Amino acid sequence: MSRTFSDLVAEVHAAHSASIFRFLDRLSGDPDLAADLAQEAFVRLYRRGTLPEKPDRWLVTVALNLFRNERSKERRQRGLRAAFPDDLTPGAGPSPSDRAESRSRRAEVRSALDRLSPRDRELLLLRAEGYSYRDLADMLTINEASVGTLLARAKRSFETAYEEARRAS
């Protein structure tokens, strides 16, 4: 039974859309933007007409470029203020409910991630999705031989930034 290209795209979507959305959601802090970027990447895959060798890597690279463009456009529009979803604004003060506690931890993690360099942030979030060193090197145009060292450094930077964010809140 022959499968159409739409079937193939649908299979790629079923296998990878959750991971791609999660990555973009964590990266941007904005689930609606993440959904839009992921869908735009799939539209481009559909237009491409053939499957790339590693469709998930291709889709993430496309979405990542769209995200970077989006962010530099935002920065131009609003000066250099970082985008920060309203419900994540730190310093809202402690609240007795668990929900507020979890929201404040979310704000701390968000704040720590936002303090990293874009490369460290992307590297950590992509590794959390299980991408291999070869994939990471290709997607972020870094030297494959030093991916482990860069990862270790990025994790240390995150830990430092997270402790700072906790002290600040």
Binding flag, residue 81, another protein (CB under 8 A): no
Q: Which DSSP state fits 141?
A: T
Identity of the residue, 61 or 111, whose beta carbon is nearer to another protein in the bound complex: 111
Binding flag, residue 63, another protein (CB under 8 A): no
Q: Are 108 and 90 in contact (CB under 8 A)?
A: yes
Q: How far is the CB of 93 from another protein (least distance, A)?
A: 19
Binding flag, residue 15, another protein (CB under 8 A): yes
Interacting residue with another protein among 66, 124, 126, 139 (CB under 8 A): 124
Q: How many residues does the chain have?
A: 169
Report the Cα 45 to chain-centroid distance in Å. Answer: 19
Q: How far is the CB of 91 from another protein (least distance, A)?
A: 17
67's tokens: 């995200």
Interacting residue with another protein among 57, 75, 90, 155 (CB under 8 A): 155
DSSP of 25-59: HHHHS-HHHHHHHHHHHHHHHHHH-S--SSHHHHH
Q: How far is the CB of 164 from another protein (least distance, A)?
A: 14
Interacting residue with another protein among 47, 81, 99, 167 (CB under 8 A): 47
Query: How far apart are alpha carbons 165 and 115 in whole angstroms?
Result: 9
Query: How far apart are alpha carbons 147 and 77 in whole angstroms?
Result: 34
Binding flag, residue 57, another protein (CB under 8 A): no
Distances (CA, A) of 11 to 3, 7, 8, 25, 44: 10, 6, 5, 22, 16
Contacting positions for another protein (CB under 8 A) = 4, 6-7, 9-11, 13-19, 21-22, 25-26, 29, 31-32, 34-35, 38-40, 42-43, 46-47, 102, 105-106, 109-110, 113, 124-125, 127-130, 132-133, 145-149, 151-152, 155, 158-159, 162
